[in-house]
């Protein structure tokens, strides 16, 4: 499996260094033929190449089996004409990574506000209320006058159908319960189309139980009783917000693994951002990036039929569970370790 590794901005180099060590340890234990290619995007690339991402990098990623991407300082990239492209968007769009899979579960050893739960948010990734995803060129936010602005939200039948299908397939592999989250009471045309397509796809999955919630009420249900959910499917921005909430409910945003996948390609990227407030201080929780890398290995196992990659992914998840339960973790999840030391503990558990 050939993987391009890009550390990213802020805490990215620290958390990605741990993810690489863990994946390499798993490769030794399960005899994986892993081929890691290191490259840069974001601020490093802007300094080196005059742009946060380059066409050559995209070609390299297209030729590989997967991408491990660190967090990007997206908010600082404002002017595409100056090479400041949002790398996360660039890869999601260029590789058509339409499904963002964001699991959230509680762990023994991490105190939470709720009871135990284990759910997955499946978020559409290529359209919706994202100014940089909807148009052939230019953004979908418009300044009408200096005091009037408009933001457009694109929803298409194709994208609804394919995200619904991904979510149903995942639900079928889990507890066979899918929740549709929408705002079709007021966004009757766009979210109405989303609901309509999800219900059409449901006909192909009679073994999966389906229910639906309006997004605002969903936030209350997620906080009150997250254990009642299995797989949740929703449009882009609702999924972005809901999955940060569920990650935090599970104990920390630093626990939120995330996979962006399409028909051909996949990218493991932590759910959190570049966390400039703690960058360079050996404080960041590396688990989100590690779990995202494990999801990439599991995706490749399914695509290639090579079971040893799934075993490696499961062993990484078990090592994470064991470390967290033993408080061999960073401070945000109740431990006392730095990023590097938490990574060393994970490798020890993985190879024990
Ligand atoms: P953030 O996710 O970077 O940080 C939010 C809070 O969570 C901060 O207090 C931070 O210290 C903490 N946190 C985040 N990750 C952590 C980890 N691994 N361990 C411990 N604590 C962690 O969000 P932000 O501060 O709003 O955004 C910072 C930058 O990241 C912005 O430029 C934003 O646009 C960008 N961003 C990028 C991505 C991405 O690349 N996928 C996602 C979200 C935000």
Name the residue of 253, 267, 288 to mutate for ligand 1: max ligand atoms within 8 A of Cβ.
253
How confident is the prediction for the chain on average, in pLDDT?
A: 95
| 281 neighbors 11 (Cβ within 8 angstroms) | no
Active site residue 212: no
Q: What is the pLDDT of residue 139?
A: 82
**What's the confidence (pLDDT) of residue 159?**
97
Evaluate: CB of 190 within 6 angstroms of ligand 1: no
Paired residues of 118 in beta bridges = 105
CA 248 distance to own-chain centroid: 14
Instruction: Note the pLDDT tens digit of each residue in 45-68.
Output: 999 999 999 999 999 999 999 999
Q: Is residue 129 scored above 90 in pLDDT?
A: no
For residues 118 and 249, give the distance between their C-alpha atoms in angstroms, rounded to a whole number. Answer: 11
Query: Integer distance in angstroms from the first to the last C-alpha of the chain?
Result: 24
Q: Which atom of ligand 1 is nearest to the CA of 277?
A: 11
pLDDT in tens, 139-166: 889 999 999 999 999 999 999 999 999 9
Task: Give the pLDDT band (50/70/90) at residue 348.
Answer: very high
Average pLDDT over residues 217-221: 97
> For the chain, which domains are there?
1-96+287-352 (no CATH), 113-249 (3.40.718.10)
Percentage of residues in the chain having pLDDT higher than 70: 100
CA atoms of 90 and 83, how far apart (whole Å): 12
Per-residue pLDDT of 67-122, as tens digits, reads 999 999 999 999 999 999 999 989 998 999 999 999 999 999 888 889 999 999 99
- Identify the residue whose C-alpha is closest to ligand 1 atom 5: 275
pLDDT at 343: 98
Q: How far apart are CA 316 and CA 222, in angstroms?
A: 27
Confidence at residue 200, expressed as pLDDT on a 0 to 100 scale: 98
Higher pLDDT: 262 or 132? It is: 262
Residue 135: the pLDDT is 81
Q: Which residues contact 108 (CB under 8 A, 6 or more apart)?
A: 321, 324, 325
For the question of residue 44 being annotated catalytic, the response is no
DSSP assignments along 114-177, one per residue: S---EEEEEEE-SSBS-TTTSSSSS-SEEEEETTEEEE--B--HHHHHHHHHHHHHHHHHTTSE
* pLDDT band, residue 137 (cuts 50/70/90): confident
- pLDDT category, 329, cuts 50, 70, 90? very high
111-115 own/partner pairs: CB under 8 Å, 24+ apart: 111/251, 111/334, 112/249, 112/250, 112/251, 113/223, 113/249, 114/223, 114/224, 114/225, 114/226, 114/227, 114/249, 115/225, 115/226, 115/227
How far does residue 243's CA lie from ligand 1's centre (Å)?
14
Q: List pLDDT tens digits, range 172-214.
A: 999 999 999 999 999 999 999 999 999 999 999 999 999 999 9
Whole-number pLDDT of residue 136: 79
Q: What is the pLDDT of residue 140?
A: 83
Is ligand 1 within 6 A of the CB of residue 92?
A: no
pLDDT confidence bin for 170, thresholds 50/70/90: very high
Give yes or no: 75 in active site: no
User: Model confidence at 131, in pLDDT bands (50, 70, 90)?
Assistant: confident
Per-residue pLDDT at 256:
84
State yes or no: pLDDT of 248 exceeds 80. yes
Q: Give mean pLDDT, residues 218-239.
A: 97
pLDDT tier, 287 (very low <50, low <70, confident <90, very high otherwise): very high
Q: Average pLDDT of 328-344?
A: 95
pLDDT score at 138: 79
Looking at 9, 65, 132, 240, which residue is catalytic?
A: 240
pTM equals 0.94
């Amino acid at each position: 499996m050939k993987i391009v590794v890009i550390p990213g901005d802020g805490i990215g180099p620290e958390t990605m260094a741990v993810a690489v060590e863990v994946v390499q340890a798993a490769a030794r234990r399960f005899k994986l033929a892993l081929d890691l290619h290191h490259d840069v995007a974001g601020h490093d690339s802007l300094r080196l190449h005059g742009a946060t991402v380059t066409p050559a990098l995209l070609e390299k990623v297209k030729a590989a089996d997967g991408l491990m991407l660190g967090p990007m300082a997206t908010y600082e990239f404002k002017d595409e004409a100056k090479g400041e492209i949002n790398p996360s968007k660039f890869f999601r769009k260029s590789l058509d990574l339409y499904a963002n899979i964001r699991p959230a579960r509680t762990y023994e050893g991490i105190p939470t506000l709720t009871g135990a739960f284990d759910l997955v948010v499946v978020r559409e990734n290529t359209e919706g209320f994202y100014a940089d995803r909807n148009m052939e060129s230019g953004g979908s936010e418009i300044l009408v006058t200096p005091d009037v602005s408009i933001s457009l939200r694109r929803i298409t039948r194709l994208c609804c159908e394919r995200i619904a299908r991904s979510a149903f397939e995942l639900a079928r592999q889990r507890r066979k319960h899918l929740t549709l989250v929408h705002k079709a009471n007021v966004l009757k045309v766009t979210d109405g189309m989303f609901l309509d397509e999800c219900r059409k796809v449901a006909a192909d999955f009679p073994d999966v139980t389906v229910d639906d919630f309006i997004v605002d009420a969903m936030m209350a249900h997620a906080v009150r009783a997250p254990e009642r959910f299995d797989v949740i499917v929703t449009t882009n921005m609702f999924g972005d917000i809901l999955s940060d909430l569920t990650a935090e409910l599970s104990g920390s945003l630093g626990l939120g693994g995330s996979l962006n996948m399409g028909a051909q390609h996949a990218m493991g990227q932590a759910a959190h951002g570049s966390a400039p407030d703690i960058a360079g201080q050996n404080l960041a929780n590396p688990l989100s990036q590690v779990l995202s890398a494990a999801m990439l290995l599991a995706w490749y196992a399914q695509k290639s039929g090579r079971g040893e990659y799934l075993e490696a992914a499961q062993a990484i998840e078990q090592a994470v569970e064991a470390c967290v339960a033993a408080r061999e973790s960073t401070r945000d999840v109740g431990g006392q370790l730095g990023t590097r030391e938490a990574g060393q503990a994970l490798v020890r558990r993985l190879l024990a």
